[in-house]
Protein backbone atom coordinates (compact mmCIF):
# COMPACT_ATOMS: atom_id res chain seq x y z
CA UNK A 1 0.00 0.00 0.00
CA UNK A 2 1.23 3.48 -0.87
CA UNK A 3 1.47 6.42 1.52
CA UNK A 4 -0.59 9.38 0.23
CA UNK A 5 2.32 11.77 -0.25
CA UNK A 6 5.36 9.55 -0.43
CA UNK A 7 8.33 11.38 -1.95
CA UNK A 8 9.81 9.65 -4.98
CA UNK A 9 12.18 12.32 -6.29
CA UNK A 10 12.99 15.84 -5.06
CA UNK A 11 15.04 18.76 -6.36
CA UNK A 12 15.44 22.32 -5.10
CA UNK A 13 16.22 25.55 -6.92
CA UNK A 14 17.57 28.31 -4.68
CA UNK A 15 16.88 31.81 -5.98
CA UNK A 16 17.76 34.56 -3.50
CA UNK A 17 15.24 34.60 -0.66
CA UNK A 18 13.11 32.07 -2.51
CA UNK A 19 13.55 28.35 -2.88
CA UNK A 20 11.54 26.29 -5.34
CA UNK A 21 11.01 22.63 -4.49
CA UNK A 22 10.05 20.14 -7.19
CA UNK A 23 8.75 16.90 -5.69
CA UNK A 24 7.46 13.78 -7.40
CA UNK A 25 5.00 12.08 -5.07
CA UNK A 26 2.81 9.04 -5.30
CA UNK A 27 -0.92 8.69 -4.81
CA UNK A 28 -2.64 5.91 -2.85
CA UNK A 29 -3.28 4.23 -6.20
CA UNK A 30 0.46 4.25 -6.99
CA UNK A 31 0.41 6.93 -9.68
CA UNK A 32 2.81 9.89 -9.66
CA UNK A 33 2.19 13.64 -9.59
CA UNK A 34 4.37 16.72 -9.25
CA UNK A 35 4.26 19.39 -6.57
CA UNK A 36 6.03 22.71 -7.04
CA UNK A 37 6.49 24.68 -3.83
CA UNK A 38 7.73 28.25 -3.56
CA UNK A 39 9.18 28.96 -0.13
CA UNK A 40 10.13 32.53 0.71
CA UNK A 41 12.08 33.59 3.79
CA UNK A 42 10.91 36.62 5.77
CA UNK A 43 12.90 38.20 8.61
CA UNK A 44 11.04 39.62 11.61
CA UNK A 45 12.11 42.81 13.38
CA UNK A 46 13.59 40.77 16.25
CA UNK A 47 15.90 38.92 13.84
CA UNK A 48 13.91 35.69 13.82
CA UNK A 49 12.51 34.49 10.53
CA UNK A 50 9.64 32.55 9.04
CA UNK A 51 8.78 31.07 5.66
CA UNK A 52 5.70 31.52 3.51
CA UNK A 53 4.96 28.66 1.15
CA UNK A 54 2.78 28.33 -1.92
CA UNK A 55 2.22 24.95 -3.56
CA UNK A 56 1.02 23.81 -6.99
CA UNK A 57 -0.13 20.25 -7.62
CA UNK A 58 0.41 19.13 -11.20
CA UNK A 59 -1.01 15.85 -12.49
CA UNK A 60 0.07 13.86 -15.53
CA UNK A 61 -3.04 14.67 -17.54
CA UNK A 62 -2.06 18.36 -17.38
CA UNK A 63 1.69 18.04 -18.13
CA UNK A 64 1.57 18.60 -21.90
CA UNK A 65 -0.66 21.67 -21.81
CA UNK A 66 1.18 23.11 -18.78
CA UNK A 67 4.54 22.65 -20.49
CA UNK A 68 3.23 24.13 -23.77
CA UNK A 69 1.91 27.26 -22.04
CA UNK A 70 4.99 27.59 -19.82
CA UNK A 71 7.28 27.33 -22.86
CA UNK A 72 5.15 29.87 -24.76
CA UNK A 73 5.26 32.35 -21.88
CA UNK A 74 8.98 31.97 -21.15
CA UNK A 75 9.84 32.23 -24.86
CA UNK A 76 7.71 35.38 -25.14
CA UNK A 77 9.50 37.00 -22.20
CA UNK A 78 12.97 36.10 -23.53
CA UNK A 79 12.07 37.26 -27.05
CA UNK A 80 10.60 40.54 -25.80
CA UNK A 81 13.08 41.39 -23.02
CA UNK A 82 16.12 39.15 -23.57
CA UNK A 83 17.85 37.14 -20.90
CA UNK A 84 19.44 40.06 -19.04
CA UNK A 85 17.98 40.73 -15.62
CA UNK A 86 16.31 44.13 -15.26
CA UNK A 87 16.26 45.19 -11.63
CA UNK A 88 13.25 47.03 -10.23
CA UNK A 89 15.27 48.10 -7.17
CA UNK A 90 16.11 51.63 -8.33
CA UNK A 91 12.74 52.15 -10.02
CA UNK A 92 10.97 51.28 -6.76
CA UNK A 93 13.43 52.82 -4.27
CA UNK A 94 10.66 54.97 -2.80
CA UNK A 95 8.51 51.86 -2.41
CA UNK A 96 9.76 49.58 0.38
CA UNK A 97 8.46 46.47 -1.38
CA UNK A 98 9.51 45.30 -4.81
CA UNK A 99 7.10 42.38 -4.68
CA UNK A 100 4.69 42.08 -7.60
CA UNK A 101 1.23 43.47 -6.98
CA UNK A 102 -1.71 41.08 -7.23
CA UNK A 103 -4.50 41.93 -9.60
CA UNK A 104 -8.16 41.58 -8.69
CA UNK A 105 -8.24 38.03 -10.04
CA UNK A 106 -5.33 36.99 -7.78
CA UNK A 107 -2.67 36.88 -10.50
CA UNK A 108 0.67 38.49 -9.93
CA UNK A 109 2.99 39.64 -12.65
CA UNK A 110 6.20 37.92 -11.61
CA UNK A 111 7.65 34.83 -13.22
CA UNK A 112 10.78 32.83 -12.61
CA UNK A 113 12.29 31.11 -15.63
CA UNK A 114 11.93 27.36 -15.05
CA UNK A 115 12.30 24.68 -17.72
CA UNK A 116 10.28 21.49 -17.53
CA UNK A 117 12.12 19.55 -20.23
CA UNK A 118 11.92 16.38 -18.15
CA UNK A 119 8.12 16.40 -17.92
* 112 within 8 A of 15, measured Cβ to Cβ: yes
The CATH number given to 6-62 is: 3.10.450.700
pLDDT of residue 17: 86
Stated pTM of the model? 0.63
The pLDDT of 20-26, averaged and rounded, is 96
In the prediction, which pLDDT does 6 show?
A: 73
* Residue among 34, 53, 51, 50 at smallest CA distance from 114: 34
Every domain of the chain and the residues it spans: 6-62
Task: State the DSSP string of the chain.
Answer: ---TTEEEEEEEEEETTEEEEEEEEE-TTS-EEEEEEEEEEEE-TTS-EEEEEEEEEEEHHHHHHHHHHHHHHHHHHHHHH-SS----TTTTTTSS--SPPP-TTS--S-------TT-
More confident residue, 59 or 87: 59
Distance CA 85, CA 87 (A): 6
Report pLDDT digits (tens) over 67-118. 999 999 999 999 999 998 877 654 554 454 445 544 455 555 455 555 555 5
- The string of pLDDT tens digits covering residues 26-56 is 998 999 999 999 999 888 899 898 899 999 9
pLDDT of residue 14: 95
Amino acid sequence: MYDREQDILSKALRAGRRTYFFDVKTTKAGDYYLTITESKKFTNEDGSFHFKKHKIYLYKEDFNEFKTILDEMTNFIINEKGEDIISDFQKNSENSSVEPQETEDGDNNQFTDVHFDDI
